[in-house]
């Protein structure tokens, strides 16, 4: 059964060696880097930021259609690093790094090794600027094979492993959204999972409608808090939503 976020966070803090009373005095700043499954209008990013409370700040820099390569080439990564530089003195800075949906395409021009290497490079650069990278595995697609309403296709398995490996190599936190979101949509089933689909016809099983953004944004917030209990104070709790998510109920 789900327990309140405070006690989950407190246990996490003890396990990870970060007692709640030893947290930084600085507020947190979250900068979100990723593809369309993070970006505004279709991603979980704005849902996550909707739970932030002052003095924390956040900015969604996700870009629709982005790969790890195009995000850097298009100047979006430079935008992330500039915000890190501008806010390093006043805030503890965090960057969610979530790519894979476009990198895995055969037309992306990004090999799997390049994808993993790019995640590592992003994380190391965040650390070099005094920030904390949050390697966030890709949001699952809500695509179910015919007749298998509780067995969504695990289409981002390798990309999840790359994010985990990048976190390991850079000694960074892993926010395993892929694992959590896949388990969740499998538990609630196809019909309920489709309620989060993008578009009026709800046929887009990759992107999220506004409610889906809030649901999976809450999931990311809870995963971040589990990883670092000190950050709980910067998120407005939603016990009803969190209880539904972590008890595998439609939210």
pLDDT tens-digit series, residues 9-38: 444 444 444 444 589 999 999 999 999 999
The average pLDDT across 154-175 equals 98
pLDDT tens-digit series, residues 88-132: 999 999 999 999 999 999 999 999 999 999 999 999 999 999 999
The average pLDDT across 142-149 equals 96
The predicted structure's pLDDT at residue 22: 83
* pTM of the full structure: 0.92
The predicted structure's pLDDT at residue 21: 52
The predicted structure's pLDDT at residue 18: 45
b/e map 157-184, b = 16+ CB within 10 Å: eebbebbbebbeebebbbbbbbbbbbeb
Q: Give me the percent of the chain exceeding a pLDDT of 70.
A: 92
The first and second tokens of residue 155, run together, are 């289409």
Q: In order of start, what are the domains of the chain with their CATH numbers?
A: 5-246 (3.40.50.1110)
pLDDT over threshold 90, residue 8: no
Q: Which H or E element spans position 133?
A: strand 132-136
């Amino acid at each position: 059964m789900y327990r309140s976020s405070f006690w989950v966070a407190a246990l996490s803090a003890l396990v990870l060696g970060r007692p709640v009373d030893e947290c930084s005095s600085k507020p947190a700043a979250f900068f979100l880097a990723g593809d369309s499954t993070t970006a505004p209008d279709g991603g979980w990013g704005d849902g996550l930021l909707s739970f932030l409370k002052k003095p924390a700040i956040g900015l969604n820099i996700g870009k629709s259609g982005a790969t790890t390569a195009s995000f850097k080439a298009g100047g979006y990564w430079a935008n992330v690093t500039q915000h890190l530089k501008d806010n390093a003195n006043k805030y503890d800075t965090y960057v969610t790094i979530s790519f894979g949906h476009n990198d895995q395409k055969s037309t992306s021009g990004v090999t799997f090794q390049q994808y993993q290497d790019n995640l590592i490079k992003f994380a190391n650069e965040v650390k070099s600027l005094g920030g904390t990278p949050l390697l966030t595995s890709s949001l699952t697609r809500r695509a179910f094979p015919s007749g298998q309403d509780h067995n969504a296709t695990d289409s981002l398995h390798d990309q999840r492993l790359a994010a985990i490996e990048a976190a390991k190599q850079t000694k960074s936190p892993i926010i395993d959204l892929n694992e959590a979101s896949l388990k969740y949509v499998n538990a609630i089933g196809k019909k309920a999972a489709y309620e989060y689909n993008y578009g009026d016809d709800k046929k887009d099983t990759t992107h999220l409608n506004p409610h889906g953004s809030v649901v999976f944004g809450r999931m990311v917030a809870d995963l971040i808090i589990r990883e670092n209990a000190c950050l709980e104070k910067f998120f407005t709790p939603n016990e009803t939503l969190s209880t539904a998510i972590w008890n595998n109920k439609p939210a």
